[in-house]
Amino acid sequence: MTGGIVQIPSASDWSAIGVETTLAATLVAVLIVPFFARSQRGVGLVALVGVLAAFGVTLLPASVSTGHSAFFGMLIADPAALLWRQVLLLFTAGVIGIWFGATSRAVPVGDAPEFMTLLISATLGLSLMGATSNLLLLLLAMELASMPSYVLAGFRKTKRHAAEASLKYVLFGAVCTAVTIYGLSLLYGSAGTLDLGHWITATRGAYTPAAIVGVFFVLAGLLFKISAVPAHFWCPDVFEGSHVDVAAFLSVASKGAGLLLLARLWDGASHFATPMVAGMAAVLGIVAVVTTAVGNLGALRQQSVKRILAYSSIAHAGYLLSAMAVLPAGRTSLLAYLVVYAVMNLGAFAVLAGVERAAGSDDVSAFDGLAARSPVAAVAMAVCLVSMVGLPPAAGFLVKWKIMSTLATAGGAWWWIVASVAINSIISLVYYAKILRAMFLRPSTVRQEPSRLITALASVCAVTLVLMLIAFAPLEQWAASAVFWQAPVQTP
Amino acid sequence: MTVGLPHYLVLAAMLFAAGIITVLTRRHAIGILMGIELMLNAANLNLVAFNRFSAVGKLDGQVFALFVIVIAAAEAAVALAIFLNFYNNFATVDVDQGNELKG
C-alpha cells in the first residue's frame, strides 16, 4: 500500500468476497428470523438457503478468476480458493441436512438460531482460510473458524461429556493459537512483511534460525486444525462429546481449511530446491506417516462409532498430508482426495446421526441389523466405509491409488510413505469391517430406523462416490485446474 | 548500554517460556488461560519490537499487535464461558477432573 493515499476497493475486490458477504447476510438473517417465526426448522431453512445461495455465488462468472489479489493483497482469488469454497459450502449444506434429519429433534426449542449462527460464522472463517496468504488475515480467519467451533463442541450444555469436550478443545486450541501467533511474529520479523507470498520469494528457501522456529510454530497451529500428530489429541474426545453434525463439520471443514492453507503456503515454498525445503518435505512426510499410523491403530480398540470415525479422520489427515509432502506435484491428488473425503465422511456421519438418534447410542452394537431395518442406509454406509478403506466400487479407491502413484513417481525416495499408505489401508479394513459386520450379519436389536431425510442424504453421497469412480476424469480435471496463484514478486 | 532488538526478543522469549511452563504445570483452567495470555503478550512484544527496529515507517507490526489483543479478549470470553459451563457440570475447573472421555 502506498503511504498517505486512500485506496478504494474496486469491483474485482468485492467479487472476491461474494461468498463471505452472502454468508454474513445469512448470519444476520438467522438472528432476525426468530423474531418473526418461532419454529426451529424455519431458522434451519434460512441457514440452508443462505449457504446454498453462497454456493450459487461461487458459480457466477464474476467469482471465477485465474488468479488475482484483492483488498490490497489481503485476499487471493484463484481456482484453488474457489474449489475449496464450493466443497465447503456443499458440505455445510449437508451438515445442515444432518441437523434437520437427526439433531433438530434433540435440541431444546429456541437453540436453533444460536447453533446456526455459530455454524455459519465458522464456515465464514473456514472459507476465508482458503483464500489468503496474509499473516494477519490468516490468523483472523483461523480464529473466526476456531472460536465458534469451541462453542459448538459444547453445545449440549447440560451433558457432562459435552462440557468436558469443549473444555479440552478450547484449552488445546488456545495454546496452539498462542504458539502460532508467536510463530507469526517471528515470520514477520524475519522478512519485515506480513504477506507470506512476499516472504517466501524474499527468503528464497534459505531460512534464518528465527524463521525456522517461526515456520514450525505456525505449522503447529495448522496441524491442530488438521488434527494431525502431534496436535491430534482433541479430536476423538471432541467428536464423542459433541453432536454428530458438529463432529461431521469439524472432521471435514476444519481439516480441509487447514490443509488448503498449508498447501497454499507450502506450494509457494516448495518451488525452491534448497536443503531446507527438502528437509521440510521430509518433516511433512514423517508427520503424515505417524499420523496415519496413530489414527488407524487408535481406531482398532474403539467401540463407539463416533470415536472410530474420529480416529479414521486422523488417519485420513495422514493420507492427505502424504500428498502434501510432494507438492507441487501432489496438488491434484491432494485436492481430489479432499473432495472424495468430504463426500464419504458426510455419508458416514449422516447414517451415524440417524442410527444414534434411533437407537440412543453410538456404539457399534447400535448398528446391529441395520441392513434389515433400513437396507438403503446400510448399503449407503457400506459404500462410504468401503471408500474410506480405499477399495472399489467407490471413488476412495482411485484417489488413494492416485496419491500412491504420485508419491512413487514424484522423484526422491518416497517409497516409505507409499508403503505406509498401503499397510495402513489394510489395518483400517479391520475396524471398518467391524461396522459392516454389525450392519449385515447381526440380528437387529432396535426397532427404529433412520429418518427418511438421513437415508436420502446418505444415498446421495453413496451414489456420488460411485459416480466419481466411474467418471474419475472430470474430478481429476477439476482438481488439476485448481491451481494456487502466487503474487508476482515485488521489489521494495 | 543502548537497548536494541535482541533485548526485546530475549525478553519476549522468556515471557513465552514462562507462559508454556504455566500452561504445562497448572491444573486450574483459569491458570492455564493466564499462561496463554503470557504467550500472546510475548508475541505482541516481538511484533512491536520488530516493527520499531526492522520495518521503520510502516505500521504492520503495531496493527498486528492490536489485533492480537482483540483476539486474546475474544478468546478469554469464549474460554471463560466454557469454563463456567464445565463448572456447572463438574463443580470444579480442575482440568484433571475432565477424564470421562477416553478409550
Say yes or no to pLDDT of B103 above 60.
Answer: no
Given a contact cutoff of 8 angstroms between Cβ atoms, the answer to whether A250 and A149 are in contact is yes
Pairwise CB contact (< 8 Å): A151 & B81: yes
C-alpha cell at position A442: 447381526
Q: Counting one residue from A and one from B, how many pairs have CB atoms under 8 Å apart?
A: 138
pLDDT tens sequence across A300-337: 999 999 999 999 999 999 999 999 988 888 999 999 99
Say yes or no to pLDDT of A74 above 80.
Answer: yes
Tabulate helix, strand, coil % of chain A (nearest 5): 75, 0, 25
Asked if A177 reaches chain B (Cβ–Cβ under 8 Å), the answer is yes
d(CA A127, CA A142): 10
- Distance between first and last Cα of chain B: 57
Pairwise CB contact (< 8 Å): A140 & B71: yes
pLDDT at A207: 81
Please tell me which residue, A50 or A412, carries the higher pLDDT value: A50
Mean pLDDT in residue range A66-94: 92
Residues of B within 8 A of A237 (CB-CB) are 101-102
pLDDT at A1: 45
Closest-approach residue (CA) in chain B for A213: B13
Residues of A within 8 A of B44 (CB-CB) are 185
d(CA A199, CA A315): 32
d(CA A453, CA A431): 27
**Element of type H or E holding A233:** none
Say which residues have a Cβ less than 8 Å from residue A442's Cβ, sequence separation at least 6. Answer: A368, A369
Please tell me which residue, A469 or A3, carries the higher pLDDT value: A469
Domain coordinates in residue numbering, chain B: 5-92
d(CA A101, CA B73): 36
Measured in residues, chain B has a length of 103
d(CA A439, CA A228): 30
pLDDT tens sequence across A164-217: 999 999 999 999 999 999 999 999 998 888 888 788 877 777 788 888 999 999
Say which residues have a Cβ less than 8 Å from residue A2's Cβ, sequence separation at least 6. Answer: none
Mean pLDDT in residue range A80-101: 95
User: What are the CA-CA distances from residue A165 to residues A197, A239, A306 (Å)?
Assistant: 36, 8, 13
d(CA A157, CA A159): 6
User: What are the CA-CA distances from residue B45 to residues A143, A210, B4, B69 (Å)?
Assistant: 20, 15, 13, 11
pTM of the model: 0.94
Rounded to a whole number of angstroms, the distance from the CA of A23 to the nearest CA of chain B is: 21
B-contacting residues in A 181-210 (Cβ below 8 Å): 181-182, 184-186, 188-189, 192-194
Question: Nearest CB to B82: which of A167, A240, A307?
Answer: A167
Rounded to a whole number of angstroms, the distance from the CA of A393 to the nearest CA of chain B is: 32
Question: Nearest CB to B74: which of A147, A164, A193?
Answer: A147
Say which residues have a Cβ less than 8 Å from residue A448's Cβ, sequence separation at least 6. Answer: A358, A359, A373
Q: What angle do CA A214, A126, B65 make, to 5 degrees?
A: 45
Q: Phi first, then psi: give them for residue B55, nearest 5 degrees.
A: -135, 55
Rounded to a whole number of angstroms, the distance from the CA of A395 to the nearest CA of chain B is: 31
Residues of B within 8 A of A159 (CB-CB) are 89
Rounded to a whole number of angstroms, the distance from the CA of A51 to the nearest CA of chain B is: 25
Alpha helices (H) along A234-303:
234-241, 244-249, 255-269, 275-300
Confidence grade of residue A290 (pLDDT, cut at 50, 70, 90): very high
pLDDT at A492: 43
Given a contact cutoff of 8 angstroms between Cβ atoms, the answer to whether A156 and A171 are in contact is no
Confidence grade of residue A107 (pLDDT, cut at 50, 70, 90): low
Rounded to a whole number of angstroms, the distance from the CA of A120 to the nearest CA of chain B is: 17
Say yes or no to pLDDT of A59 above 70.
Answer: yes
Mean pLDDT check: name the lowest of A34-38, A259-263, B78-82: A34-38
pLDDT at A119: 96
pLDDT tens sequence across A407-459: 999 877 889 999 999 999 999 999 999 999 999 999 887 777 888 999 999 99
Domain coordinates in residue numbering, chain A: 304-486
CATH class of B5-92: mainly alpha
**Element of type H or E holding A75:** strand A75-77
Other Cβ atoms closer than 10 A to A70: 20
Range among A30-44, A93-107, A137-151 with highest mean pLDDT value: A137-151
Of the candidates A144, A172, A324, A141, the one whose C-alpha atom is nearest the C-alpha of residue A235 is: A172
pLDDT at A203: 78
Mean pLDDT check: name the lowest of A447-451, A487-491, B16-20: A487-491
Q: Phi first, then psi: give them for residue A264, nearest 5 degrees.
A: -65, -45
B-contacting residues in A 207-246 (Cβ below 8 Å): 236-237, 240-241
Alpha helices (H) along A102-251:
112-129, 135-153, 160-191, 196-203, 209-226, 234-241, 244-249
Residues of A within 8 A of B95 (CB-CB) are 167-168, 171
Mean pLDDT in residue range B40-69: 92
Mean pLDDT check: name the lowest of A447-451, A477-481, A488-492: A488-492
Given a contact cutoff of 8 angstroms between Cβ atoms, the answer to whether A410 and A330 are in contact is yes
Rounded to a whole number of angstroms, the distance from the CA of A398 to the nearest CA of chain B is: 32
C-alpha cell at position A358: 434411533
Question: What's the count of helices (H) and strands (E) in chain A, helices before strands?
Answer: 21, 2
Pairwise CB contact (< 8 Å): A147 & B33: no
Residues of B within 8 A of A164 (CB-CB) are 86, 89-90, 98-101
Give the rounded percent of residues in chain A with a pLDDT score beyond 90: 66
Instruction: Please give the mean pLDDT across all residues of chain A.
Output: 90
C-alpha cell at position B70: 482483540
Confidence grade of residue A2 (pLDDT, cut at 50, 70, 90): very low
Rounded to a whole number of angstroms, the distance from the CA of A297 to the nearest CA of chain B is: 12
Mean pLDDT check: name the lowest of A66-70, A240-244, A307-311: A66-70
pLDDT tens sequence across A261-280: 999 988 888 888 888 888 88
Given a contact cutoff of 8 angstroms between Cβ atoms, the answer to whether A457 and A98 are in contact is yes
C-alpha cell at position A12: 474485482
Say yes or no to pLDDT of A109 above 70.
Answer: no
Other Cβ atoms closer than 10 A to A237: 25
d(CA B84, CA B103): 26
Residues of B within 8 A of A150 (CB-CB) are 78-79, 82
d(CA A117, CA A47): 8
Given a contact cutoff of 8 angstroms between Cβ atoms, the answer to whether B98 and A168 are in contact is yes
Question: Nearest CB to A188: which of B32, B64, B82?
Answer: B64
